[in-house]
């Protein structure tokens, strides 16, 4: 069984556990022209994590890491709130918010490709500085996001499902189609497997790494817009907090090699939905939100150990 399939099995098992642990978990009902219930809430809030997990999977596939995901979410949310308050319309707000995410991604790529900086160091810079810029944009306050577009995006539905689910589904479907129909997916995996060999072979490694980081920034910006619209406010301090950890956990759970070279979009989606469902499970078990990152960190440790080549080699030898 592939790691991605194991991740989907884990999601199914956790859902079965929640059916017994949470009395109202199965209570999905059609109310006022839309589906309502805890599973719908998991998909709606998990849409943001699915987006950043897909972006993170592309970066990790190249052997890199993006620590600025949460910061980009805060930046895009604060910028959207500021522009909306100044009277700008939906197209301008969305373009600017996604543009700032792409800009941060391009800056990360430039430091990795041109500056030859380790990805963890390169992305640490915007992670630290970017949230300060978000505070400046917000003027040190929590800005309201109550424009008509935000109200519709945060609480609107289509065909009975929240708009956030449709936005994430559309973005991820287009990404999967492009990776399948072009050589970008193969190129990203090749870069992560052996960067030096790819350079010798003439593979445009710099371009591929740039695409990965820019895509991660764009997806984080979209997630920031969805988060700000959901709560109708942009808090530069808390928006996107710990999202970097969640993205890495989702990617590793889904079978993407943390060292690069192997990635799975389906596995990243399964990992994201597993984490979102796990958050609900932990809340039902009475575990505080400030303690919740601990089991997530333990999951990363376990997944990293299982995915390590020496561990797999020993497992193969023990079964042979």
Residue 264 placed within a domain: no
In a domain, 320, yes or no: no
Q: Is there a domain that residue 194 lies in?
A: yes
Chain mean position to CA 223: 8
Q: How confident is the model at residue 20, as a pLDDT?
A: 85
Higher pLDDT pick, 24 / 124: 124
Among 30-34, 98-102, 120-124, 188-192, where is mean pLDDT lowest? 30-34
Residue of 307 and 220 predicted with greater confidence: 220
Report if residue 309 sits inside a domain.
Answer: no
Residue 80: both structure tokens together: 């959207």
Place 128 in a pLDDT band, splitting at 50, 70 and 90: confident
pLDDT attached to residue 61: 92
pLDDT at 310: 58
pLDDT value at residue 48: 95
Mean pLDDT value of segment 137-141: 83
Residue 87: domain span: 15-243
Q: Examine residue 249 and state whether it is found in any structural domain, yes or no.
A: no
Number of domains in the chain: 1
288 confidence band (pLDDT: 50, 70, 90): confident
Q: DSSP label at 264?
A: -
In a domain, 146, yes or no: yes
Pick from 24-28, 45-49, 51-55: least confident: 24-28
Question: H-type helices in the chain, by residue range?
Answer: 3-21, 38-61, 69-85, 90-113, 119-122, 124-138, 148-155, 163-181, 184-193, 195-200, 205-231, 243-253, 265-284, 293-307, 309-319
Higher-pLDDT residue of 212, 1: 212
pLDDT reported for residue 108? 94
Residue 83 covered by a domain:
yes
Residue 98 resides in a domain:
yes
Most confident of 127-136, 139-148, 265-274: 265-274
């Amino acid at each position: 069984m592939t790691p991605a399939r194991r991740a989907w099995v884990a999601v199914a098992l956790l859902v079965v556990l929640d059916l017994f642990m949470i009395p109202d978990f199965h209570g999905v009902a059609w109310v006022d022209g839309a589906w309502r219930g805890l599973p719908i809430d998991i998909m709606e809030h998990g849409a943001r994590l699915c987006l950043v997990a897909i972006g993170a999977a592309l970066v990790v596939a190249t052997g890199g890491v993006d620590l600025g995901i949460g910061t980009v979410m805060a930046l895009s949310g604060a910028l959207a709130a500021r522009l909306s308050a100044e009277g700008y319309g939906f197209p301008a707000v969305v373009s600017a918010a996604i543009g700032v995410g792409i800009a941060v991604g391009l800056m990360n790529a430039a430091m990795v490709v041109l500056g030859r900086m380790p990805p963890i160091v390169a992305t640490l810079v915007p992670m630290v500085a970017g949230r300060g810029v978000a505070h400046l944009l917000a003027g040190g306050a929590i800005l309201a996001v109550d424009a008509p577009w935000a109200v519709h995006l945060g609480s609107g539905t289509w065909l009975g499902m929240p708009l956030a689910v449709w936005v994430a589904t559309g973005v991820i479907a287009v990404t999967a189609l492009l990776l399948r129909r072009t050589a970008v997916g193969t190129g990203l995996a090749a870069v992560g497997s052996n960067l030096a060999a790819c350079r010798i072979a003439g593979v445009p490694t710099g371009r591929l790494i740039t695409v990965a980081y820019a895509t991660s920034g764009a997806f984080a910006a979209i997630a920031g817009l969805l988060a700000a619209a959901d709560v109708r406010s942009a808090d530069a301090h808390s928006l996107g907090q710990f999202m970097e950890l969640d993205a890495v956990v989702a990617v590793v759970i889904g079978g993407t090699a943390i060292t690069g070279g192997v990635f799975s979009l389906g596995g990243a989606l399964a990992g994201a939905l597993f984490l979102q469902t796990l958050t609900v499970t932990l809340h039902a078990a009475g575990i505080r939100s400030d303690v919740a990152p601990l089991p997530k960190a333990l999951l990363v440790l376990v997944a990293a150990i299982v995915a390590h080549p020496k561990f797999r080699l020993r497992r193969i030898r023990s079964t042979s």
